[in-house]
Amino acid sequence: MLVEIAPPAFDVDIALAYAGADNFMGQPVYRNPRCWLHGDAAAALTRAIALADEQGLRLKIYDAFRPSEAQWALWHHTPDPDYVADPRRGSPHSRGVAVDLTLIDADGNELDMGGPVDDLTERGHHDATALTPAARRNRLLLLGIMTAAGWDWYVREWWHYQLFRPRDYPVLSDRAAGTGMMA
């Protein structure tokens, strides 16, 4: 059901935000961080990788499958449904059909997006206006690549993309997914 997203099979950089303390919670969430997606999402990611490559760019992934236990940890820290999916309803991440990411250049440098991943303010919204023209252009480039590859987007997070109809996929715990991320 889930496919591990890792080089060389997937030409991406992986820097899982919840593997360390550099995230909005300020602490690690995953004990055994690995990057996973449902097979349908992995196929859409492959299309996005190819589209980014046509532009001389690559993708850097900050989060993908997030076991339901991890979603509960985020919710307990920040129970704000505008930025953290209520685990009782299920997150697209906990279904393996969402990815948080940015664009990087050939040297591995992140393109300026006008703010970091997990900026849980209006500045993190796709339609944020207080950005430089370069940051807006980069956000639109990422949006174009991801939507052309078959991803839907979330208006409040420039970095978050998910498959259309995420509720068609089941919410998975760490144990049910067999990823060992929380163990």
Token pair for 143: 């949006």
In 3D space, the residue among 84, 70, 79, 87 whose CA is nearest the CA of residue 34 turns out to be 70
Which letter, b or e, does each residue of 153-170 get, where b requires 16 or more Cβ atoms within 10 Å of its Cβ?
bbebbbbbbbbeebeebe
Q: Write down the catalytic residue from 4, 54, 110, 157.
A: 157
> 3-state DSSP call for residue 42?
helix
Joined tokens for residue 82: 């505008």
Q: 4 catalytic, yes or no?
A: no
Helix, strand and coil in the chain, % to nearest 5? 30, 20, 50
Q: CA 28, 164, 146 angle in degrees (round to 5)?
A: 70
The residues annotated with a catalytic role in the active site are 157
